[in-house]
Amino acid sequence: MSILAAVRPGVGAGGAGGGGHTMGQQKAKKELAIEFINAIRTMDPQVLNALSVREAGEELAQFFLTYASSLTSRDPAKVLENTSSLMRMGYLSRQNEERKRPAAGLPQPHALA
């Protein structure tokens, strides 16, 4: 289950992102992002942490925590800019995962010997 699906049941991660989105697709992505941010902002911190660890895994969750702490300690004045960058990195990481994940229900190519 994706974090978005956990926050908003019935909504999955969608397809792999890419260029060429229509204005309507961009608006829908923005609306989903706002809805998601509002949902996690009000979520109990323990629930959010458990969701993050379950979805991203302990190693990736720890990597982002360490990276965010490092960025913040280096330049506390840029915390908003760094937060935005971290959010985009997370989004792009997810899109990359989605592109590499085989589509459900589609036949997979077999290696020829």
Cβ(4)–Cβ(12) below 8 Å: yes
Going residue by residue through the chain, which has 113 residues, state the pLDDT in tens, using 9 for 90 and above.
Answer: 445 555 554 444 444 444 556 777 777 888 988 898 899 889 999 998 888 888 888 888 888 888 888 888 888 888 888 888 888 888 888 888 888 887 665 555 555 54
User: Distance (Å, rounded) from C-alpha 79 to C-alpha 90?
Assistant: 16
The DSSP 8-state label assigned to residue 78 in this structure reads G
